[in-house]
């Protein structure tokens, strides 16, 4: 039996070795049997005077001259397997042991000298040199050394901690731990997942991130919220389970992009004259132009060309309103037309289902719901039309100049006019309830909600009014608020922000969480005055005298 073969065998008690040897080596020479018989004594010689062993958990060392107690105590296999590896080398004779011992002494002596030298060098290094040396040593470490380092560091890092240093979340009931984490801002909550695995499991709880999205800062409009969820489901693999942390990350990025003005701009070309009005939904943009046509564009493709052109008006298309597959348009030809966009013809006049005639001048503004259409005209009137029959049911008179803008919600209608006034109408009683004065020139655009009215004017100012009292709450002057330097052609507002556009070729985004109105950013890309816009939580669509339609997408950056 060679040394390597002997090294691979396992040594137990003398009787075990004898029996095993007799079974496995029955045909071997008597010299092998002699070696096996002497094995317990050789093992005893190895551990004599040098090898520690464990007895009842206490580390002991044999005194010089003391035997291992082979005859008084049976050598347990676990004690043998716990010996250092170099004591398990094959043992052939006493001379080999002596030579091996001298060799080990030389190795240990050289190792100690080198170790002392390295430590002396390390102590003399500066901080940067120590860091570099540690990095080099760490790169040479393997898994056992990495495990040792992690164990040592764990104790070392807590040496300077106070006596009561504890993971307080670990000792609390999970309900209380979640309650504490629910008070954190999104960035702090995300950082908690980097503390340890337990904190990561807590901070990734679905309801924590879902609740964050309901806070006013991160909340979208109802339509925007459901649109976002639909997009997430379509893009997810399963299409069913929602991961609220991932959804919130998208919401956080969207909010940041609005604050920083980070967006992707797409340009749609096709009109031969200036664009006067735009509308959009989730899949398409509709634009009207001075070239008397209406064009429909597909948002979901990268094509800059329209997919449908609607012809029928004999004058400039001045206003549009889109609701599902139904589109209503107003023109300088004094008519309104209702179009069915489910017709897929590339060029279509058949898509026009109803033409409403009654105004005696340009139809400048229009809005509809499922039952009625409300229009404003240069003939100084507002008219209410039945969407089903196309007949005018009521005419509202009160303005003494062109009606330039309108918006209605439920039973309240607000209109702006070239007579510099804003009027609030009741659609139940069909009469004017209030008239607001304050602008120095024509009121060109209106937007309102349950609490306030926002108006833009040819005087370059934007005013915020209280809807109930009619009091002007604030004026966004272009000089003091870094506002527009040209005529304000259009604006739209929601609960959180307002977007305005002007003849100065810019769009401006304003923060409306307070009634003071703080300008967030200015968007520049058009080469001529911006005439129209519409926006939601994700995009802005604008049209300009430069004959283009632009889509500003804040959700893809």
SS3 assignment for 502-548 = ECCCEEEEEECCCCCCEEEEEEECCCCCEEEEEECCCEEEEEECCCE
pLDDT above 60 for 462: yes
Distance between CA 103 and CA 108 in Å, rounded?
Answer: 9
pLDDT of res. 454? 92
- Going by C-alpha positions, the residue among 490, 91, 68, 102 that lies closest to residue 278 is 490
pLDDT above 90 for 114: no
Q: Where do runs of H (alpha helix) occur along 196-315?
A: 197-203, 206-213, 222-235, 244-260
State the maximum Cα–Cα separation within the chain, in Å, rounded to a whole number: 129
CA dihedral defined by 532, 534, 540, 544, rounded to 10 degrees? -10
Report the number of secondary-structure helices (H) and strands (E) in the chain.
Answer: 14, 31
Question: What is the pTM (predicted TM-score) of this model?
Answer: 0.66
pLDDT, tens digit, 9 for 90 and up, residues 300-322: 887 777 788 999 999 999 999 99
DSSP line for 308-330: EEEE--SS-EEEEEEETTEEEEE
What count of Cα atoms within 13 Å lies in the side-chain half-sphere of residue 231? 16
pLDDT of res. 246? 84
- What stretch(es) of the chain map to CATH 2.130.10.10? 264-553
Higher-scoring residue by pLDDT: 270, 486: 270
Q: Exposed, middle or buried: residue 90 (CB in 10 Å: 0-12, 13-18, 19+)?
A: middle
- Going by C-alpha positions, the residue among 374, 327, 372, 373 that lies closest to residue 353 is 327
Angle between helix 14-24 and helix 30-47 axes, rounded to 10 deg:
150
Distance between CA 543 and CA 396 in Å, rounded?
Answer: 30
Average pLDDT over residues 459-471: 90
Distance between CA 67 and CA 55 in Å, rounded?
Answer: 15
Sheet of strand 488-493: strand arrangement: 488-493, 497-502, 506-511, 518-524
- Going by C-alpha positions, the residue among 410, 367, 373, 411 that lies closest to residue 392 is 373
Average the pLDDT over each of 5-9, 419-423, 537-541 and give the range with the smallest value. 5-9
The pLDDT-based confidence of 366 (bands split at 50, 70, 90) is very high
- Residue 89, CA distances (Å) to 5, 175, 538 in order: 11, 58, 73
pLDDT above 80 for 349: no
Regarding beta strands 352-357 and 335-340, do their DSSP bridges make them parallel or antiparallel, or are they unpaired?
antiparallel
pLDDT, tens digit, 9 for 90 and up, residues 233-284: 666 555 556 688 888 888 889 889 988 889 999 999 999 999 999 999 988 9
Distance between CA 509 and CA 491 in Å, rounded?
Answer: 10
The CATH class of 264-553 is: mainly beta
Distance between CA 277 and CA 295 in Å, rounded?
Answer: 11
pLDDT, tens digit, 9 for 90 and up, residues 537-556: 889 999 999 999 999 999 88
pLDDT of res. 234? 61
pLDDT of res. 125? 87
Other Cβ atoms less than 10 A from the Cβ of 27: the count is 5
- Going by C-alpha positions, the residue among 280, 307, 374 that lies closest to residue 336 is 374
> What average pLDDT is seen over the chain?
79
pLDDT above 50 for 51: no
Distance between CA 294 and CA 308 in Å, rounded?
Answer: 8
Higher-scoring residue by pLDDT: 105, 525: 525
Distance between CA 295 and CA 411 in Å, rounded?
Answer: 32
- Going by C-alpha positions, the residue among 197, 200, 163, 162 that lies closest to residue 181 is 200
Residues 6 or more apart whose Cβ sits within 8 Å of residue 422: 414, 415, 416, 435, 436, 439, 443, 446, 453, 455, 465
pLDDT above 50 for 2: no
Note whether 128 and 42 are within 8 A (CB).
no
- What stretch(es) of the chain map to CATH 1.20.1280.50? 173-260
pLDDT of res. 290? 96
CATH of domain 173-260: 1.20.1280.50
């Amino acid at each position: 039996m060679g040394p390597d073969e002997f090294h691979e065998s396992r040594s137990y008690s003398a009787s075990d070795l004898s029996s095993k040897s007799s079974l496995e080596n029955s045909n071997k020479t008597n010299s092998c049997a002699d070696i096996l018989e002497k094995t317990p004594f050789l093992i005893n010689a190895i551990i004599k005077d040098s090898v520690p062993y464990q007895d009842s958990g206490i580390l002991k060392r044999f005194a010089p001259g003391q035997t291992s107690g082979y005859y008084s105590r049976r050598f347990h296999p676990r004690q043998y397997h716990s010996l250092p590896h170099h004591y398990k080398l094959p043992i052939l004779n006493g001379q080999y042991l002596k030579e091996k011992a001298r060799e080990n002494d030389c190795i240990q002596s050289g190792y100690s000298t080198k170790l002392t030298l390295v430590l002396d060098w390390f102590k003399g290094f500066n901080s940067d040199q120590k860091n570099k040396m540690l990095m080099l040593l760490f790169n040479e470490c393997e898994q056992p050394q990495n495990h040792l380092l992690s164990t040592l560091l764990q104790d070392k890092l807590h040496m300077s901690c106070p006596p009561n240093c504890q993971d307080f979340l670990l000792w609390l009931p999970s309900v209380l731990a979640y309650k504490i984490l629910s008070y954190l801002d999104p960035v702090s909550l995300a950082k908690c997942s980097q503390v340890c695995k337990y904190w990561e499991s807590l901070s990734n709880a679905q309801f924590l991130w879902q609740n964050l999205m309901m806070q006013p800062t991160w909340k979208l409009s109802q339509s925007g919220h459901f649109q976002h969820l639909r997009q997430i489901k379509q893009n997810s693999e399963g299409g069913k389970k929602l991961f609220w942390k991932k959804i919130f990350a998208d919401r956080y990025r969207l909010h940041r992009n609005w604050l920083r003005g980070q967006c992707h701009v797409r340009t749609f070309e096709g009109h031969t004259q200036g664009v006067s009005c735009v509308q959009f939904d989730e899949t398409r943009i509709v634009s009207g132009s001075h070239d008397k046509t209406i064009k429909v564009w597909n948002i979901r493709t990268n094509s800059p060309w329209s997919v449908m052109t609607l012809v029928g008006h004999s004058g400039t298309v001045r206003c549009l309103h889109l609701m599902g597959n139904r589109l209503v348009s107003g023109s300088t030809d004094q008519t309104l037309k209702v179009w069915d966009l489910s017709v897929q013809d590339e060029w279509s006049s058949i898509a026009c289902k109803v033409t409403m005639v009654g105004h005696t001048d340009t139809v400048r503004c229009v809005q509809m719901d499922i039952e009625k259409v409300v229009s404003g005209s240069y003939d100084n009137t507002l008219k209410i039309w039945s969407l089903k029959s196309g007949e005018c049911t009521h005419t509202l008179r009160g303005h003494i100049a062109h009606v330039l803008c309108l918006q209605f919600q439920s039973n309240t209608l607000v209109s702006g006019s070239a007579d510099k006034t804003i009027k609030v109408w009741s659609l139940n009683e069909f009469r004017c309830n209030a008239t607001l004065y304050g602008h120095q020139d024509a009121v060109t655009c209106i937007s309102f909600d349950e609490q306030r009215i926002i108006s833009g004017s040819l005087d370059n100012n934007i005013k915020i009014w209280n809807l109930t009292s009619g009091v002007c709450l604030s004026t966004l002057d272009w000089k003091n608020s870094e506002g527009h330097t040209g005529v304000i052609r259009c604006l739209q507002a929601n609960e959180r922000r307002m977007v305005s556009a002007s003849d100065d070729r810019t769009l401006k985004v304003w923060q409306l969480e307070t009634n003071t109105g703080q300008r967030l950013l200015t968007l520049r890309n058009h080469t001529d005055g911006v005439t129209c816009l519409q926006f939601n939580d994700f995009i802005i669509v604008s049209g300009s005298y430069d004959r283009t339609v632009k889509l500003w997408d804040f959700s893809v950056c």
